[in-house]
Amino acid sequence: MKSETLIDATIGLVLSGGGVKGMAHIGLLKALEQRGVNPSQISGVSAGALVGGLYADGASIEEMLLFFKETPLLKYNFVTLNKPGLFDTDKYLPFFDDFFKARRFEQLGKRLVVVATNLLKGEPVYFEKGELFGPLLASAALPPVFSPVSIDGQLFADGGIMNNFPVEPLTGASDVIIGCYATSMREVVKGQIKSALQISQRANLLMLHANAMDKLYIPDLLIVPEELGKIGVLDKKGIDKAFVLGYDHANRRLDEWLQ
């Protein structure tokens, strides 16, 4: 791939889920920005949907990282007893108001597709029109940690349940597809699974990985940052590390690809 051929190309970016590991997507965006490569279409799920939404809204690299650092994950007063989940997802809405300029997909500067899972119908739904915050929240509402989000009378949760690598909306619509897969897998030992939350997180990770594996060959360039497996899905202390891992890996892969 020559960098000159990207000038007039429609570039699509597919961003997986992965929780805090998804900060590697921001590292990829920084590496692309430094090379003058500007994707105009983004398809994202969970953390990838949030990063993609911020990017499509014109946020800088620093602003994206700040969003995730300032948005609490497991905050005590967000605990809910009235909804199916440990934490009330709706309580996160004010943070979107603070960081997003757009309120609707149509107000974004780039095409954004967000996938969430319709829990009632048991199917993935692809959002790219209308109100923005509901689909973004739903796409990242990992059960059973976060409560489902109600949209038009339906309950939606993490899109990764059904599709953790939503490349489909970009095929046929993009000349070049770049993918970043942050749901890294690694073997764990018996002693690392000690609680209900840990076994739930491990089961979710296996599920997310399984529904993405057969599609990782589709992008023209795939970024799979190494060492992300050592970062916890909900461990905010890993934000900067995941970002650096994504940036370093993307730099190496892009240099090889663009030669």
- List residues with catalytic annotation: 46, 158
Residue 192, Cβ neighbours under 10 Å: how many? 9
- Can you give the length of the chain in residues? 259
Q: Which residues have C-beta within 8 Å of that of residue 13, sequence separation ≥ 6?
A: 39, 41, 42, 43, 52, 170, 177, 178, 179, 180
Tell me the C-alpha to C-alpha distance, in Å, between residue 108 and each of 55, 103, 131, 172, 248: 9, 8, 11, 21, 28
40 within 8 A of 111, measured Cβ to Cβ: yes
Which of 90, 89, 82, 139 lies closest to 112 in space, CA to CA? 139
